[in-house]
Structures are given as C-alpha cells and as structure tokens.
A and B are shown apart, each in its own frame.
Chain A
C-alpha cells in the first residue's frame, strides 16, 4: 500500500511532465478524439460538444496548464501520504523493479529516512503546483514554451522522488542524473540571456563533477562489497583510511549539490535565473535531496562514523553558515540573496549533522539522535520557509517586474496579502520564537550544549565556539531579512513599477504561499508533530531515539530532560496574546486619543523623496566595514564637478561591486590550470598526418612490447 502511494507519486509527476508535452498538439488531440468517438455514436453526441468546447483554441492552453499542475499537485499529495504512512508505521518496504539492465534490476527501499524526505518533497511540490499555474501565465508561449517547462518540472520531481526510493548505486545514480539534468534545462529555460546560459552551464558542470565524486564514492564502497545494492554496501567492512576516502568523496559530491562553501558558486548563479517556482523547488527541496544522500551514505551505508568526519562537517558547516549569510546580506538581487541564504541554512544543517556524528562516534547515540533530529527538522523548516520566500519573490517579480530590492519599497500597502506571507517567511528564517525556524535552532543549541559528555578537550572547546558562530549566524540572518522586508515592503516606492504595483489576482499563487506560511506557523507552535516523526527516523537510522518520549508531547519540548531545558510554544503564544491584548485594550479605550495622521517630519526642509531613504548598500554599510575581509569590495565614488574652478559638486556616482572570494581563489586557478594542461597536451597535436601516423606506430610498438 505504501509503495503504491510512493509509485503513484512518481508516476503522477511523470504523467504531468508528459501531459505538458501535449501543449502544441491540440489539433492531434482533437483528431484523435473524433476518431475514437466515431466508434461510439451515442457517446459522441454528448461528449463531442464538451470536448470541442474545452479544446477550443483559447481555452486549451489554460486547461492543459491547470491539468498539468493538478497532476503535479496530486503527485505531491501522494508523496506526503506515502511519507507519513511510512513514518507513522515505522516500517521498511522493499521491492524490485524489473527495469534497467536485465541482470541489474532496480532495487527499491522505502524506510523512515526516505519517507521523511518524501514528506519534504511532497509538501513543497503541492505548494508549487498550487502556485505554478498562475505564475507561468506570464511567460510568452512562443519564446518560453510551456511544454519544456512542464516536461522538465515533472521529470525533475520524479527524479528527486526516485533518488529517495533507490536502493542500489546504479538506480541511485540514474535517478540523481535525471534530477540534475532535468533541473539544468529548467535553469536554462530563459536561455535568450547569455548570463542565464552561463549560469546553467556552471550548474551542469558542477552537478556532473559532483556526480563523478559520488560514483567514485560508491565505487570505493563497492570494491569492498559484492554487488552494488545498498544492502551489499552496508555489509562491506572498510578500513578507516578507505572509509575516510569514501566519506570525503561523498562529501564533495553531495556537498556540491547541497551548496557547501566553497563549492556553492552555482547556487547564486542558477537560482536567480530559473523561474521562481523552480528556484523554490531547487533551493527548498533539491538541496535537501543532496542532504539525504549524505545522510544515507554516512550513517547508513558506511555504518561506523568517525568523529573526525564530524569535525570536518562542523567546520565546513560553520564556514558555510557564516559565509552564506554575510554574502546574502550584500546582495541586491532578491533571488540571489535567497540563494546565498540557502547556503547559510545548509551550513547550519551540516553543522548540526557534524555534531550528531561526533556524538555517535563517541558513543552517545541518544545525543546523536538529538543532533540528527535538529538537522532534519531544520532541513524540513528550511524547505518550508525558503519555498515560501522564493514563491513570494516570484509574486513580487510577477507584479513589479523587478528583482532588485533597491528599486522596490512601499509594497506593504500595494500588496497587503503578499506582504503578510513574506513577513512570516522572514520571521521564520530569522529564527524568531513562535515560528518553526526558531525551534530547530533551539534544538541545535541544546545539542551543542551537551558537549560536556565528551572526553576530548579539543572537541569540548570547539563545539561551543561553533555554537557561538551559530548565534552570530542567526543574528546576521535577522539583520539580513530586516533589510529584505524593510526595503521591499516598507518605506516609499523607489521605482515607477513599484508605485503602480497591485496585489496578485491569482488565488492559486496566494494559496500556495499561504499553505507554506500556515505550516511555518503551525510547526512553530506545535513542533512536536514533526519531531515525533523524525524521532522514528532516528530510531531506524541510529537505533536510538530521544530519551523520554513522553516529554515530547504536543505542549512541551524537552529534548534531553525537563530539568535541562524546556520550551512550550503554545504557552508562549497564549502569553503573547494576553500581553498584546491587554496593552492594546488598555491604551485604546479613550476615544480622545484616536490616531491622528500627519505628514512625515522632514526637519522643516520639505519634500522628502524616496531617494532619501536608506538603500541596501547603506543599510549594510556597518557590516561591510566590520567584516571587510569577507568580501572583495570594489567601491568607487566619482564626482561630477562644475562651476568656477570646478569646485561645486554637481552629481555623485557611487558604484559598489561585491564579489565572492571563491572565484579568484579557487575557480580561476583551476580554470587556468586546465587551460595550461590543455596547451601542453595540445603540443602533440601538430595537425600533420605523418606525425599522427607516427604516434599510431609508436603506440602499436609499445602495446606489442607490453603484451610480449
């Protein structure tokens, strides 16, 4: 039954992709239906007008689009149901598909870990499909055909679901490549821009290099096992060295997909250029699939984890979290900013995962379960709020044709509903209490504070520092999203487009975002709902759950023991409502003190304009100064002079370019190296046929010598 749901999800997403291909086949469908109905004259009379009606020239694309997204949404719902049923049932289901090569059937295994990620993919896909049909309306069919978008969206979702189902290395890689390649086409969807093509190429390149590393990682494992099925790989016994090599390869491969610093560079390139609902899926979900791969590889397949790996994850995660948010803060393109913020959140997840590994290797499986729980819960939360923010960015782009936050402003009055949804996303990602982001961060702190149980002095001083870095990250994230919300929605409109913007009309777009916003709030107040599910994952994966199941009731959250730490979000919510209502009621009862509106105080000079507001670069100036070494900052101020002796300033031009250190430090040297190598190799290519014949002859001689 569970597998039927899971397969159903996969098949439905395939079906939605294939159906999208019908976009340009209206005439064929019409002919086909006529042909079929000729055989049934009675049905013909009743159905023909209906079909002809709905397949009318104008109606057809709308109907087809809606059907495609309904199928995609159903796929999401099926995935959620499959995930929930396996998580609640705590079962493991296996199957063999007679697909693929005859002697290599595809193995399928569906356990709690897969189920949990199914849940993430499912929720995100459902929200995106509600949102999608309204969003893709704005694309010009002749330039950006829906057939392409719909097909690859379906394949992309199917690929992600198959990765989660795979139980042998071959199937895993095939699904992985399906996911990567389908998303490449989605990134390259608006390929008329050279920048978009470049972004898509970088993405494809890094995805393939990552895939190579993963294949090599599986290869290392497989050389110690008989066969490529995961159950065979689990049995393999590796020496510490080989296990570490396999771990490093997997970390490189999955880390590249997940966007860990320094292999994160494709994210800020690819996310802004893809359509918003696709960026939402890529950032919210695909990165999580990479995370799934890493967890599956390390905790499940490799078996015994080493604390050194945990330290590697911890350090990489800390660097990514801090780097990600600092880079995010400097961006002015909203989607680029969100992409960097994904780097930050993935960093946090890796950090906590590293903690979990350290605890596991030191023989504290309960604390490892706590760490894993925090990591998975944060992954879940990030999927919700990052999806929400990307969908919100899509709405803003749809309505204002702008992604530059320095050109926005004042949208809170023009787009009241969107602004509330976006605010919820900003509050969740800034990890404010009452929202889900806070709970996972709180759990991460709780895991980090259990460091006293470790014997290793270095670890005991390293982990608290990482926890402090986490605190810094959270505070910087709050600053970053104050900037985002403040510049986009508050203040005066900074451009003509924003002044004329109005609320989005499509209910689906708002419904998709509202679903996610509602879940962000729900799981902020009742985190126990998800945590008890994740506890089952930890039980299956680590063989250990959190100590006191009773303490994880719906009201209280006490991960270690009630004496150590507890948090009761519902009570906090009640307290907040009481305090808010009492002060509100008390202060508003006197009608003599009704609010009076007046002009903004302009210090008596008159004429406040939008140019006088703080801009993005002004808001982040103190950060630029404090953390100056983090970026490559190119700041230029040119003044146009006029008047006698050129003494008066007529205009000031301010230019600010901020770049990522990883390009000049890492990628350009690699690029140069490859070019150099190519030149060296190129020397043997003389272009002269006699020389080539000589090469062949020499090779032949060499081979003969080797054989004899």
Chain B
C-alpha cells in the first residue's frame, strides 16, 4: 500500500514537473532561434514571465461569448495535462501510464483541439472560423499519420502502454530497426505539424493568410490566453518527450530511487535541449509552406508511417 502511494506520488510529481518545465523548453527554443538568426535572445525564463504577466491581467471577453468560450481554456489545459500524465518523463512503470495508453493520449489531444476549435467559432468572427477550419483540417490529416507511426512501435513492443513499450526498447538494447527509422521520421514530421511550428504554422506571426493556431485564440486575453499558451507549450514538450523517450529511452529511471530519478531528469533535459536545437535549426533553415501544401507534407508523413509498418511486418516480425 505504501509502495502504491509512493508510486502515485511520483507520478503526480512527474506530471507537475512536466507542466512546470514546458515553458522552459519554449524559452530555450526561442533563445536558440534568436542566436541562429543573429538576434539578441530574451532570457530563457521569458515564457514564465509572460505567463505570470497574463495571469495578473484582467481578461477581456467579447459580449458575444458564451460559457463555452470562458470554460474552454480550462478544458484545453486539463486535457493536455492529462495527456502529460500518460507519457513517461523521468521514470517508467508509473501507475498513471497504466490508466491510459497512447491511443488515449491521442484522444486527449483531440479533446483539447475539439474545444479549441469550438472556442474559435464561438465569437462569430471570420478569423476564428478560419483558424478552426484549418486546424481541424490539418489535425484530421495528422492523426492517422501519428497513429500509424505509433502503431509501428506498439506492434514491435506488442503493447500500446507507453511505459511497457519503452521498457521493451530498453531491454532490446540498441538495434537499428528500419521500421523505427521510418516511424521516427513520421512522428517528427507530425509533431512539427501538430505543435504549429514552421513549416506548417508560424507561432510568431499574426498574418491572416498564414495563421492557424493564432487565429483561433485571437479573442483570448489574460488568464485564458495564459492557459492556452501554456497548454501549447506543454503539447510541444509532450511530443519532444515522446520522440526522445521512445526512440532513445536510455537514461530514464526504471527504479524509484532518488539517484535514478535524478539521472532520469538530467537525461530527459539533455535530450530535449538537443531536440530543441535541432528544431530551431530546422525552423531557421526552412520557409513556411503554403496552406495547401501541408496535405502533401502530412501524406508524406503518413506514407513514412505506412512504410515503417510494412517494413515491420515484412522484415522484422518473427515468422
């Protein structure tokens, strides 16, 4: 019983850590990007300051807004936090990862997106509708691709539980599987699209021709905006952790000692820092795509996922 309690405690702590570290990652990416673009970088703690500033402001809500508009940020934030409980950050075998598997995690993202899109439609401005429409289009193409990539992994590990899948990869040791390479590529492409980064969406712009995510949240201010921003930072970090911990899980804690957990934390922070640098370089080198090229981009991701699946079935399955 005591053990059980301890496990739950660690799981909750891990989730809090997840939520707390997300703005740091966003700050780090921004910092790297600025350096690469020869600009002076803000402090990597700037996102925290922004969030605190927003929570202290009085939110302005349109007269047209319904309850859905005001509640949606809380729902979006909670759904994203729930998704974070599923993904092992510093340790595996936590009880929260058994309460929901990776398909449920994708479901949580869908949940958050559903309300975000509805909130975009709530005020009745053209921008909101445009953002919702585009977001739903992109996500409906991205979801099969991400599931395809994930299915490749789960079929190799024969489990959809992320914790077990990661320990399977750990036990197998470093084997270069062609299916994993394809799945990794697919997952990276989808992660970029889903988190609204260049080349699919540009988080730093407010130009109506290009914006997707920003168009939906244009009407939000104050704490509502803070929650939505935080949720999207959390989502970015979630995808980063997913990629880092599934494909390169080494360093993650398998026991719950202080030392192991500490190493786990250091390992994931190191991995994320490297991933962030790669993302910053990519964003600096690549230009944003036209909206209707995104489908080609995402079908390419889907194709990679499919190739991964086929190579698993043809080359790797033990029959």
Contact = CB atoms under 8 A, between A and B. Distances in A.
A575 B154 CA distance: 25
Contact of B68 (A412, A471, A564, A602): A412
Contacts of A409: 124
B57 A593 contact: yes
A478 B121 contact: no
Interface stretch (A38-46, A188-196, A455-463): A455-463
A576 B74 CA distance: 10
B121 to A, nearest CB: 3
A593 B82 contact: no
Given A464-B151, A583-B78, 7 more contacts: A410-B64, A410-B124, A432-B107, A468-B302, A564-B160, A575-B99, A623-B140
Interface in B225-244: 226-227
Given A482-B132, A579-B78, A599-B62, A472 B140 contact: yes
B158 A452 contact: yes
Given A472-B144, A579-B81, A565 B160 contact: yes
B125 interface: yes
A580 B64 CA distance: 24
B317 A597 contact: no
A93 B99 CA distance: 40
A595 B99 contact: no
A608 interface: yes
A614 B317 contact: no
Interface in A576-627: 576, 579-580, 583-584, 587-588, 590, 592-602, 608, 610, 612-614, 618-623, 625-626
Contacts of A623: 137, 140
Given A433-B111, A461-B313, A490-B118, A576 B125 contact: no
Contact of B144 (A475, A583, A608, A619): A475
Given A482-B132, A619-B133, A562 B98 contact: yes
A34 interface: no
A220 interface: no
A515 B49 CA distance: 47
B262 interface: no
A385 to B, nearest CB: 15
Contact of A478 (B114, B223, B226): B114
Interface stretch (A268-276, A566-574, A687-695): A566-574
Residue among B61, B79, B114 with the highest chain A CB neighbour number at 10 A: B114
Contacts of B75: 580
A223 B107 CA distance: 50
Contact of B134 (A492, A565, A599, A622): A622
Contacts of A433: 100, 104, 107-108, 110-111
A486 B121 contact: yes
A487 B128 CA distance: 12
B103 to A, nearest CB: 5
Interface string B120-146: 011111101110111011011111100
B121 A490 contact: yes
B255 interface: no
A46 to B, nearest CB: 53
B133 A621 contact: yes
Contacts of A621: 133
Contacts of B245: none
Contact of B66 (A464, A490, A567, A594): A490
A434 B59 CA distance: 30
B208 to A, nearest CB: 10
13 contacts: A431-B107, A449-B151, A460-B317, A464-B155, A478-B140, A486-B121, A486-B122, A490-B66, A491-B123, A583-B227, A587-B223, A593-B57, A625-B292
Contact of B70 (A457, A474, A595): A595
Contacts of A563: 159, 161, 164
B111 to A, nearest CB: 5
A568 B160 contact: no
Contact of A593 (B58, B68, B141, B306): B58
Nearest to B119: A490
Chain A binding surface SS class = helix
A229 interface: no
Nearest to A621: B133
Interface of B: 55-68, 70, 74-75, 77-79, 81-82, 85, 96, 98-101, 103-104, 107-108, 110-111, 113-114, 117-118, 121-126, 128-130, 132-134, 136-137, 139-144, 147-148, 151, 154-155, 158-161, 164, 218-219, 222-223, 226-227, 291-292, 295, 302, 305-306, 309-310, 313-314, 317, 319
B201 to A, nearest CB: 14
A612 B126 contact: yes
A174 interface: no
Contacts of A431: 107, 110
Contacts of B309: 461, 464-465
Interface stretch (A280-288, A289-297, A438-446): A438-446
A612 B125 CA distance: 7
Nearest to A584: B74
Contacts of A571: 99-100
A479 interface: yes
Shortest Cβ-Cβ A-B pairs, 6 listed: A614-B129, A486-B121, A491-B124, A475-B140, A479-B136, A579-B78
A430 interface: yes
B188 to A, nearest CB: 18
A147 to B, nearest CB: 42
Contacts of A619: 129, 132-133
Interface in A622-640: 622-623, 625-626
A485 interface: yes
Nearest to B317: A452
B103 A445 contact: yes
Interface string A420-440: 000000010011111000100
B54 to A, nearest CB: 10
A434 B110 CA distance: 12
Contacts of B103: 442, 445, 565
A460 B137 contact: no
A613 B126 contact: yes
Nearest to A588: B223
B78 A580 contact: yes
Nearest to B19: A579
A478 B161 CA distance: 24
Contacts of B125: 600-602, 608, 612-613
A79 interface: no
Contacts of A460: 313, 317
B104 A442 contact: yes
A197 B248 CA distance: 64
B227 A600 contact: no
B124 A576 contact: no
A413 interface: yes
B98 A566 contact: yes
A600 B223 CA distance: 18
Contacts of A618: 129, 133
Nearest to B156: A452
Given A438-B107, A580-B74, A596-B58, A566 B99 contact: yes
A476 interface: yes
A467 interface: yes
Nearest to A493: B124
Contact of B227 (A452, A472, A587): A587
Contacts of B101: 565-567
Contacts of B158: 452, 564
Contacts of B56: 590, 592-593
A593 B104 contact: no
A471 B292 CA distance: 21
B141 A464 contact: no
Given A491-B124, A563-B164, A432 B111 contact: yes
A553 to B, nearest CB: 13
A594 B219 CA distance: 17
Contact of B159 (A564, A593, A602): A564
Contacts of B113: 478
B198 to A, nearest CB: 19
Interface in A407-422: 409-410, 412-413
